[in-house]
Amino acid sequence: MNDTTPTLPRVTDWRALDADARAALLRRPTARLAAAVDTAVRRTLAQVRADGDGALRALTRRYDHVELDAIEVSADEFARARTEVPPDLVRALEEAAARIEAWHRAGMAGEFEIETAPGVRCGRLLRGIRRVGLYVPAGSAPLPSTALMLGVPARLAGCREIVACSPPRADGRVDPVVLTACAIAGIQRVFRIGGAQAIAAMAYGTGSVPACDKLFGPGNAYVTAAKQMVAQETGGPAIDMPAGPSEVLVIADAQANPAFVAADLLSQAEHGPDSQTIAISDDRALLERVARELETQLATLPRADIAAQALDASLLLHVGALDDAFAISNDYAPEHLILQLREPEAWLDRVAAAGSVFCGDAAPEALGDYCSGTNHVLPTAGTARALSGVSVASFQTAISVQHVSPAGLAAIGPCALRIAAAEGLAAHARAISIRLDAENAR
């Protein structure tokens, strides 16, 4: 279908494909390990639910090869971690946190109240979710940026308890940079637990870890499966979103810099072998140059083997017009959409579904990953058609509230009575009429 070389993509002519071939090309891969992951995760969840901290210690011994002493990171360890992080990195984390805070604060919802009829005031209250649990991965590399992206909006939302889990290193400690990012973000407690057992701990609670109302954060297939399972259970926590492999779609015109396009594709490809990378252009020559740049740049990447695997499924699509590129992008609904176009703003109206958009040659996706201010926890696998990235609202609930005076009841009660009658709900009607009658009898 997709005529790629073993490692590097060639240009595909979109116009030469029929509808089925097009759909096949853009179809996301489904997780292949599903059944094995499912079984292992169910066992882990049951074990933590039954044995609490004991299970956490046993599972950490098995999967992380670490003998846990205290499960919770102490105040002393936080302080020690800070001293171990180079000052310029601390400053970078603080600088990133400040911009993340500025953008998230600007997007916060407000409470409101309006009079919908005389004597009927209806409003909305906002509440920070009381207990939120954040997962900060640290597999092939620790991800302090994720601590910032989850902790800062949780703090702005007014969550009362903000806890996090992150897997221990071989020496049993949580990565000092992660801990420092947690402290900067406002995360109050950190537990040295990773994988599905971390999700189980924050969902059910253990002696050490509090049960949380909502769980957040990216993770591997086990973490993702665990989040989805606990969210399905009666009384289980809510979750931010299902997390799939990371994705980027670049729309580039003839004037785009092929080295920049290739660099953006590679920055996505290095995340993992299942990362999705697509470039679309109305200029075939540009795409050919991107293909050559990919080869050149790949050669000098430390994570070249991972990136090469991801590039194997990468697409370079040549379309007849940029309109077609936006139609493809909207159907695909990428996590990240980069517009390397001369006038990207003029095209924004065409964007119907995407997690985050990067406008212009000077806007690599990596800026959004770290420090432009927007959130990097974004919908993948096409869920951007209906879901949004993490924001302060993700950490809040909106509670509607109505204040009704006797005059208000007189004003809108008859409307409610009429609809209740049509729905055959007599007790609904009586809850209104018994009050109207009492008021009339005064």
342 near a second copy, judged by CB under 8 A = no
Question: Annotated binding site: which residue ranges?
Answer: 135, 197, 220, 246, 268, 271, 336, 369, 423, 428
Q: Which residues 264-303 are close enough to bind a second copy by CB under 8 A? A: 264, 266-267, 269-271, 297, 301-303
Q: Is 182 one of the binding residues for a second copy (CB under 8 A)?
A: no
* Binds a second copy by CB under 8 A, chosen from 50, 125, 285, 346: 125
Site string for a second copy, 3-32 (x = CB under 8 A): -------------------------x-xx-
Q: Looking at 46, 74, 112, 305, which residue binds a second copy (CB under 8 A)?
A: 112
Quick check: is 335 catalytic?
Answer: yes
432 binds a second copy per the rule CB under 8 A? yes
Residue 419 sits in the site that holds a second copy (CB under 8 A): yes
Q: Binding of a second copy at residue 157 (CB under 8 A)?
A: no
Is 369 near a second copy (CB under 8 A)? yes
Residues 385-404 that bind a second copy (CB under 8 A): 385-389, 391, 393, 396-404
Contact with a second copy (CB under 8 A) among 8, 17, 58, 89: 89
355 near a second copy, rule: CB under 8 A: yes
Residue 344 in the binding site for a second copy (CB under 8 A): yes
Q: How far apart are CA 122 and CA 107, in angstroms?
A: 23
Site for a second copy in 59-78 (CB under 8 A): none
Q: Which of 42, 51, 78, 103 touches a second copy by CB under 8 A?
A: 103
Of 79 and 431, the one with the shorter C-beta distance to a second copy is 431
Q: Which of 104, 318, 336, 376 is catalytic?
A: 336
Given candidates 116, 188, 208, 220, which one binds a second copy under the rule CB under 8 A?
116
Biggest CA pair distance of the chain: 87
User: Which residue in the set 11, 177, 202, 316 belongs to the binding site for a second copy (CB under 8 A)?
Assistant: 177
In the region spanning residues 211 to 270, those forming contacts with a second copy, defined by CB under 8 A, are 213-214, 228, 232, 234-235, 237-238, 257, 259-260, 263-264, 266-267, 269-270
CB of 84 to a second copy, least distance (A): 12
Binding residues for substrate: 246, 268, 271, 336, 369, 423, 428
336 catalytic, yes or no?
Answer: yes
Q: Would you name the residues annotated as active-site residues?
A: 335-336
